[in-house]
Chain A
Amino acid sequence: METLGRAFADALGLLWGMDAALVETVVLTLQVTLVALVIALVLGIPIGAAVGLTRHLPGRWLIVPLIYTGMGLPPVTVGLFTYLVLSNQGPLGGLGWLFTPAGMIVAQTIIAFPLVVGLTMAAVQGVDPNLPVQMLSLGATRRQVATVTLLEARVGVTAAVVAAYGAIISEVGAVMLVGGNIEGETRVLTTAIVLETRKGNFALALALGIILLALAFLTNFAFHRLQVHQGVR
């Protein structure tokens, strides 16, 4: 109980004091998470919609289980894979992205992408199958049908965004491996929490956890407001 109480006090103190190292960590956390999320959305939503809307997709029997498996990828495995690819001995070692935020973004994009594809696909498939033909009969192009369907599935697509965001902002294994938890360079909230726990600074670690939760809550709150506003117009 003493540790818990101290954790809340520490969290408030850190926030109030705008501790420079904390601000740096929070900014990097948001940068890495949001860039990875945007890339995953830009690639994943169209692909998820295409897979969901194409009835006679060749190879669907293989593609769909692959997507579902991807949704459950252990982040630390993704981290290891990214590590080996970006390592000096790896095929993309020349980029020099290992132990940089760019490398972390690669890993988190790989984690978020199947989530976005799979949940978008499911959301789109949940839309009335009569919608496409009725839109076509109103003179829609294939692309317009996809757009209208995505808008109809917006609640499900928003869930995809939220799930992907939640998965990567709270992810620790991959960013630890690929980023290296370097102070002032690649340290994010989750890796800082692991570090402070190892040091035995339980209260500080918990305080960082509270800040992470608050960050996730604020973002999800914003998503939710967006969802409500989209509701009926």
Chain B
Amino acid sequence: MLSHHNAYQDTMRARIIPFVVIMLLAASCAGGNSDEARVLRLATTTSTNDSGLLDALLPAFEAEHNARVDVVAVGTGQAIALGEAGDTDVILVHARAREDAFVAEGHGTARSDVMYNDFIIVGPTVDPASVTGVSLASDALAAIATTEATFASRGDDSGTHSKERSLWGAAGMISDRDTDWYKSLGQGMGSTLNYANEVGAYTLTDRGTFLAQGESLTGLRVMVGGASIDENTDPMLLNPYGVLPVNPDKGGIDAELAEVFVEWLTSVTIQEQIEAFGVDSFGQSLFYPDSAAWRSR
């Protein structure tokens, strides 16, 4: 009887021990880090993430404040929706009018300038609409519409798409989905550039993504906006980014850490790093610092 009893116990132990070990491991993964590091949820646009800017900046913040930043890189529309739902602590986006509305409607506590980059119009080397070197984007769009040259739109309610709409507005037109030459893609910047390169279409892009993808875009070149941001002659093409902490009233928001992040991102030290980012790879900055602290340094 005794030996039978022991055998039974051994079997049970053999079954239970791995189970307990797994549970402990799971618990340590889930809970262990949160004791040490706080988590900041950052919703941002694909352009800041795809350019590699956040990868370059964030490790310093994580080390300095013993925190982990979870980046959700989505369209501006979705980033703002995440903020409205209280599913993120802070958003970093580029759609000025919607950012102001976000604060006005009480979803965010404040908006701070961070940086800007610029948009450019790129198109096929053959340039059927003859817009190379045109100084204003709206004039170029008008020429594209007149010649009915193919134009690829992000069509995804992104910051870039918002900008494109306002440029069509400045050209006195509404982007019309029923025309054959206007292609509304509903895709990210990278895919839209690939499309334009493939079919020979014009498109509006942020300079950073175009430069980062440059090597594969053999059929495209810059039409409006010049070789760097200094040569960009159209003030409408400037693209400011704002950072907005989400209103803590929504619950579950780490407002304190969000404030620390905004403070850090707009500090002169980090602003200098933003200015330096990309110079090594592309010979020019991809983002230009523009925080209040930077302007009054």
Contact = CB atoms under 8 A, between A and B. Distances in A.
Contacts of B199: 98-99
A96 to B, nearest CB: 9
B116 interface: no
Contact of A182 (B79, B178, B183): B183
A98 B78 CA distance: 28
A198 B74 contact: yes
A183 interface: yes
A180 B192 CA distance: 8
B177 interface: yes
A200 interface: yes
A98 B183 CA distance: 14
Contact of B184 (A98, A176, A183, A198): A183
A87 B177 CA distance: 25
B226 interface: no
A192 B183 contact: no
Contacts of A180: 183, 185, 187, 191, 195
B32 to A, nearest CB: 32
A108 interface: no
A173 B212 CA distance: 23
Contacts of A177: 191
Interface residues of A, number: 23
Contacts of A194: 186
Contacts of A182: 183-186
A195 interface: yes
B128 interface: no
B185 A181 contact: yes
A199 B75 contact: yes
A88 B200 CA distance: 10
B198 A198 contact: no
B266 to A, nearest CB: 25
A63 to B, nearest CB: 35
Contacts of B183: 180, 182-183, 185
B275 interface: no
Given A98-B198, A99-B195, A191-B186, A198 B177 contact: no
A198 B157 CA distance: 8
Contacts of B79: 200
B187 A197 contact: no
B156 interface: yes
Contacts of B219: 88
A199 B155 CA distance: 10
A200 B80 contact: yes
A202 B85 CA distance: 11
B77 interface: yes
A184 interface: yes
Contact of B77 (A88, A183, A192, A201): A201
B82 interface: yes
B155 A183 contact: yes
A209 to B, nearest CB: 16
B81 interface: yes
B216 to A, nearest CB: 10
A195 B198 contact: no
Given A180-B187, A200-B157, A201-B77, 8 more contacts: A88-B198, A176-B187, A182-B185, A183-B177, A197-B78, A198-B74, A198-B78, A198-B158
| Ranked 10 nearest A-B pairs via Cβ | A200-B81, A195-B186, A183-B184, A199-B77, A198-B75, A199-B157, A200-B77, A200-B78, A181-B186, A198-B78
16 contacts: A88-B219, A99-B195, A176-B191, A180-B187, A180-B191, A180-B195, A182-B185, A195-B186, A198-B77, A198-B157, A199-B75, A199-B78, A199-B81, A199-B156, A200-B77, A200-B157
